[in-house]
Amino acid sequence: SQQGEEDPQALSIQEGENATMNCSYKTSINNLQWYRQNSGRGLVHLILIRSNEREKHSGRLRVTLDTSKKSSSLLITASRAADTASYFCATDAWGGKLIFGQGTELSVKP
Amino acid sequence: ETGVTQSPTHLIKTRGQQVTLRCSSQSGHNTVSWYQQALGQGPQFIFQYYREEENGRGNFPPRFSGLQFPNYSSELNVNALELDDSALYLCASRSDSILGNGGYTFGSGTRLTVV
């Protein structure tokens, strides 16, 4: 079963715009991770935020975590066509077992 | 050796057959996990191995089994294949090091089609 919901399911933006994806989950977690997947192939780890952190940055990525609301958001700034992919949040509640959301399909048009 | 390598990339099997999928993890990655991803869905956790012992299992029947070897390779075996087993199977590994970013390195997956 999926841990949570991702919103929106699909997002289409122009190059240079910012993209925001949201993730909600149901149980307590150790950390939350975001992954990118291109064309149904392997996932690429983007960023991990621990349960005691509220915000984290990595290059053009900004992740927030609100454990009281059991939600997280991923912001991609100044998006590029190469950012077109599916983005998944995954929660780690115990020992590295990741529970993934359904994903957000991002399309960045040049 | 860097990266996670999975083989084969594509596979077609008949219902009722058995299949073995293989994964070669990065050196030093003692944790390996397997996931099943149906089309349009997020990956679902099958099981996890740490230093050759299974230490976590998702909601999959016993006909899904695995092995992890000392050389950082692992296998996923599926017996009595069903049509619903058609999916992308992903292997992922992680280092124990606290210096790592804590995330998993995923292979490109094996696309299994059961007919």
Predicted pLDDT at B98: 63
Res. B36 pLDDT band, cuts 50 70 90? very high
- In which region does residue B101 sit, left (phi positive, over 0), alpha (psi from -120 to 50) or beta (all else)? alpha
Vertex B46 angle, CA B62 and A35, to 5°? 175
pLDDT tens, position by position, A81-96 = 999 999 999 999 877 7
- Residue A51 with chain B: CB contacts under 8 Å: none
With an 8 Å Cβ cutoff, the interface of chain A facing chain B consists of 1-2, 31, 33, 35, 40-48, 88, 90, 94-103
Give pLDDT, residue B69. Answer: 94
With beta carbons under 8 A apart, name residues in chain A contacting B31.
96
Closest by Cα among B105, B87, B93, B73 to B10 = B87
Cβ neighbours of residue A108 closer than 8 Å, sequence gap 6 or more: A13, A14, A15, A17, A19, A79, A80, A81, A82, A83, A84
pLDDT tens, residue by residue, A41-88? 889 999 999 999 999 999 999 999 999 999 999 999 999 999 999 999
Whether residue B71 is predicted with pLDDT greater than 50 in this model: the reply is yes
Q: Do B107 and A99 touch (CB under 8 A)?
A: no
Confidence at B1, pLDDT banded by 50, 70, 90 = very low
